[in-house]
Structure 1
Amino acid sequence: MKNLFLPLAICMFLANISCQKENKVNPPKPFGPLPSSEQLAWYEMEMNAFIHFTINTFTDKEWGFGDESPELFNPTSFDADQWMETLEQAGFKGVILTAKHHDGFALWPSAYTEHSIKNSPFQSGNGDIVKSVSESATEHGLKFGVYLSPWDRNRSDYGEPSYVEYYRNQLRELFTGYGPIFEMWFDGANGGDGYYGGSNEKRTIDRRNYYDWPTTLKMVDSMQPKVLFFSDAGPDLRWVGNERGIGGKTHWNTITPDTLFAGKSGIENLLQHGTPGGTHWIPAEVNVSIRPGWFYHKAEDSLVRTPENLFQRYLTSVGRGSTLLLNIPPDTRGLFHENDVKALKGFRKILDSVFQYDMAKSSTVMASTYRGDDFRFSPINLIDENDETYWTTDDGVTSASFEIELDTERKLNYLLLQEYIQLGQRVAAFDIYTWQNNQWKKLGSETTIGYKRIVPLNGIKTSKIKIEISEALACPLISNVGLY
């Protein structure tokens, strides 16, 4: 058995002396589909905000019918800076604005429709919510994204080829006039009853072919090639299959998109968990609202999620290898409500408290094996605070273990693990052991790790913890471990 059980300072010293053997073996080769640089940056954002704000805010509806008068839209105290300051302080890294929901009302003065903010009393018809939010997000260091509903219950030509061109024209406006956009969000609400310019009827479309998404996305990509496209099936980010903020405990970032069109049976399970060995890297994005609804309703002021509940949603999204997309809907004033702001501040306080001190950083490490006895792949990389280093095994070795020993017995609440996903996702199963009464005691079994996995340890007291990888699709690569 090849072991390494040394204090960090000694290991770092050994890494820099000539007697240490290095470059004995090559690094592992990439395995399977790999994330793009934009997808890697998306993981690092961890938390983004969804902002649902439109005519529905003033009609107390979730889905507008499309016949609402633009004159209803009139937030009297609109302040995008209040939104962004709140989000920045809470630790969010991006914001996605509903530039147009199913009712078809455009939050910018679109040249292609009269059903827009330009015909509202807001700022005497000169307002532009998209511009205000985009500029404020940039000023506060947040990335900006847009939601543009493919379904439009206002347009008389919805269902005709001319509507698809209208939709693309609005995308051109957004992607050429409002700065960098990191994510374009569109969902599967396509067709049904609506106003449709006065027809007041139900319309259905061929959801798979009507929009000719490959052409539409190619057009957007030509304007902003770094944008990530979210939809039920990707192509860059997929839906997690529910709106409860629950990511799969098993979360494969890989999936074979064609399987999502095979029928509805089991689709939620497939979206949530993905497919080991899938053909494309399309991670699940976990979306949920801070309130029961997606738009503001005064009756829900007392139903805002608590800080503790938001922390649990963090664990079931970011803590399961995904990102959290949390909706915070502005009220009729055009402000985040005081109850929502209070909940977000409390949530931030919990995050800071829980992850303030990583006990693993002052620990010692041991591994059952490491690649070619080469120090570049030793277990010290697990705690060196360098995202570009990792512990790994020889090719063909898909089960191995590492141990973290603390200076004394400690109370442990959370274990954090990260794979080096730049070379693919590999770990399929691992077991957790803690040192109890001078022997290893199994605490639990888990499946995937991915970009980040946070496992509750429920306050167990121990001086040592062992992670035993029991199954992997290729030699495992672990870049970071944390104990809190």
Structure 2
Amino acid sequence: MPTLTKQAKTGRVLPPKPFGPVPTQRQLRWHEMEFYGFLHFTVNTFTDKEWGYGDESEAVFNPTDFDANQIVKAAKEAGMKGLILTAKHHDGFCLWPSQYTEHSVKKSPWRNGKSDVVKEISEACRRHGLRFGVYLSPWDRNHADYAHPKYLTYYRNQLRELLTNYGDIFTVWFDGANGGDGFYGGAKEKRNIDNTIYYDWENTRKIVRELMPMAVMFSDAGPDMRWVGNERGIAGDPCWATLNAANRYPGGTSDGLNSGERPGTDWIPAECDVSIRPGWFYHAKEDARVKTPAQLLDIYYQSVGRGADLNLNLPPDRRGQIHENDIASLRDFRRILDATFAKDLARGAKLTASNTRGAAKQFAPKNLLDQKRDTYWATDDNVTTPELVIDLGKPTTFNVVSLREYLPLGQRIDAFALDRWQDGRWVEFAKGTSIGNRRLVRGDYITTAKVRLRITQATVCPALSEIGLYAEPGLPKH
């Protein structure tokens, strides 16, 4: 079967053609983050609720020792690359002094109504090198006009405020909870909306594209990344980055969200959102129920390790700080991750591939070990199930294998397998399906001098940008 690997006139080896949907630049920037955090903080923090009714007095919001630096430092030390703040949750209380409502921090006794949580968190993020994002609940149980056309103008005005007054915004997070009972300016009734048309999402999203072109938008339906379908932080296996977006909308069906859809019409990868505590907002009764480092590690490997991004919620307490128990768990979690990925045991190994695209250096297997996302190993167009051998030169012990595809060319690999050299023959120790942004294969410790990667199914030639071997701390001595 002929290939189109070389350009006829010049003999230059051409890169593979993209396959299926591919990520935008804003999505690629988001993929590189991998791990960031949520900050659920509002009147609910002080009423001990998860969802406020909308009738809460502004006087309720009164943190005793708010410290944006403490919050952001806790996130940074955990390895997070950004933070998303609930600027307005379903209760309608605004953490910034919006000019469009009095139901905000400007009517709170906190610092005599002169402060702005959004401003302080966004500035602290910039100081500490983290990106900043906003959650703006479409549902508003406080506003008198909710479920009427006038509310959409109010909502869009607030969206513009957040996207013009607080610097770069990396994401706008649109929740799928829409409609129900609420205060609604004193009406105290149940209001339902048709969430397929009420928010006029096409034009609402245009505001984000206009004011913050690199911001990714989250919802059940994307358009940039999708909900993973649960609040446990667990991606499916497989978890494809593609989805069929037609007829999907925020608050719509969850079918296909956990695993993605292949083939899919749109690149809408998964975000795994989960709280470090049972609840999304701080509750003192949950101080002893913070997820352990081991639980956080399991979530990490089942989210980031399945090609998704992890959004871990850290709810500030009534002081306006991250609780000590949360910080202690995060530090141990980070310590173990750092120790695991500090050394790639495959660095310096000899790589031998069954095929290299056009026999060209630019597509050689050595690219897999250079720790660069923009270089990759590829094969000729007609070679879709190649093999790669990693010769470590000596017996080496590991229990984590890291793989990445070169995302600008799409998600190309359908299935793979990993073998170890044992007693003069190859023995399979793992296999999987989707790779995408990252696949972390975590298992029992293995000691071997050679590892083989087999691409067992692909419609087109693979383009792989990374392979790495790692050992979690506490490995047995040999």
Rounded Cα–Cα distance in structure 1 between residues aligned with 2:203 and 2:310: 29
Match of 1:306 in 2: 292
CA distance in 1, matches of 2:71, 2:209: 28
Runs of 4+ in 1 over 6 A off after TM superposition: 261-264
SS of 1:309's equivalent?
helix
Deviates more, 1:334-343 or 1:374-383: 374-383
Is residue 2:56 matched to residue 1:44? no
The code of the aligned residue for 1:244 comes to R
The answer to whether 1:205 aligns with 2:190 is no
Write the letter of the residue equivalent to 1:129.
V
Distance 1:260 1:380 in 2: 42
* Contact 2:220–2:251 (CA under 8 A) maintained in structure 1: no
Deviation per CA, 1:118-151, whole angstroms, max 9, x where unpaired? 1110000111101110111111111110000000
- The letter for the 1-side match of 2:82 is G
- Aligned pair count reads 461
- What secondary structure sits across from 1:359 in the alignment? coil
In 1: Cα distance, 2:146 partner to 2:247 partner: 28
| Superposition RMSD in Å | 1.6
**Paired position in structure 1 for 2:268:** 282
Alignment of 1:433-444 (within 5 A): 433-444=419-430
| Unpaired stretches in structure 1, ≥5 consecutive residues | 1-21
The aligned amino acid for 1:156 is A
* 2:16 aligned with 1:28: yes
Deviations 1:385-443, CA, capped at 9 Å, x for gaps: 33222111111321111111112112211000010111111001011111111111111
Please, which of 386, 399, 422 is the counterpart of residue 408 of structure 2?
422
How many angstroms apart in 2 are the aligned matches of 1:284 and 1:125?
Answer: 38
Q: Establish whether residue 80 from structure 1 lines up as the match of residue 68 from structure 2.
A: yes
Give the counterpart of 2:95 among 107, 112, 122: 107
Shift of 1:347: 1.0
1:231 aligns to 2:219 (yes or no): yes
CA distance in 2 between partners of 1:446 and 1:56 (Å): 42
Aligned to 2:108: 120
Q: In the alignment, is residue 130 of structure 1 matched against residue 110 of structure 2? A: no
Q: Deviations over 1:262-317 (max 9, x none)?
A: 997xx545111112231111111111000000000000000001111111111111
2:386 pairs, out of 400, 414, 418, with 400
Unaligned runs of 5+ residues in structure 2 are 1-9, 471-478
Q: How does 1:35-434 map to 2 (within 5 A)?
A: 35-258=23-246, 260=248, 267-268=253-254, 270-434=256-420
After superposition, give the CA deviation of every residue in 1:210-259 in whole Å (9 maximum; x if it has no partner). Answer: 00011111122211111111111001111111110101221211111126
User: Is this contact kept in 2: 1:24–1:374, CA < 8 A?
Assistant: no
Using structure 1 for the length normalisation, give the TM-score. Answer: 0.93
Amino acid in the other structure paired with 1:473:
T
Alpha carbons of 1:260 and 1:26: their partners in 2 closer, same or farther (altered >3 Å)? Answer: same
Identity %: 54
- Checking the alignment, whether the CA contact within 8 Å between 1:377 and 1:390 is kept in structure 2 is yes
Higher mean Cα deviation, 59-68 or 42-51? 42-51
Give the Å deviation of 1:46.
1.3
Distance 1:171 1:253 in 2: 28
Q: Secondary structure at the match of 1:64?
A: coil
Whether the aligned pair in 2 keeps the contact of 1:249 and 1:320 (CA below 8 Å) is: yes
The code of the aligned residue for 1:146 comes to V
Over 3 Å counting, the alpha-carbon distance change for 1:263 and 1:211 in structure 2 is closer
Partner Cα distance (2:468, 2:397) in 1: 14
> Does the residue aligned with 1:361 lie in a helix, a strand or coil?
coil
Provide the C-alpha distance between the structure 2 equivalents of 1:51 and 1:23, rounded to a whole number of angstroms: 54
Q: Contact (CA 8 Å) 1:236, 1:282: kept in 2 or not?
A: yes
1:476 aligns with 2:462: yes
Give the distance between the partners of 1:450 and 1:233, measured in 2 at CA. Answer: 19
Letter of the aligned partner of 2:126 in structure 1? T
Q: Give the corresponding residue for 1:4.
A: none
Change (3 A) 1:92 1:126: same
Give 1:300's aligned amino acid.
E
Cα distance in structure 2, aligned partners of 1:320 and 1:425: 13
Counterpart-to-counterpart distance in 1, 2:41 and 2:389: 49
Residues 253 and 284 in structure 1, CA contact (< 8 A), matched pair in contact too: yes
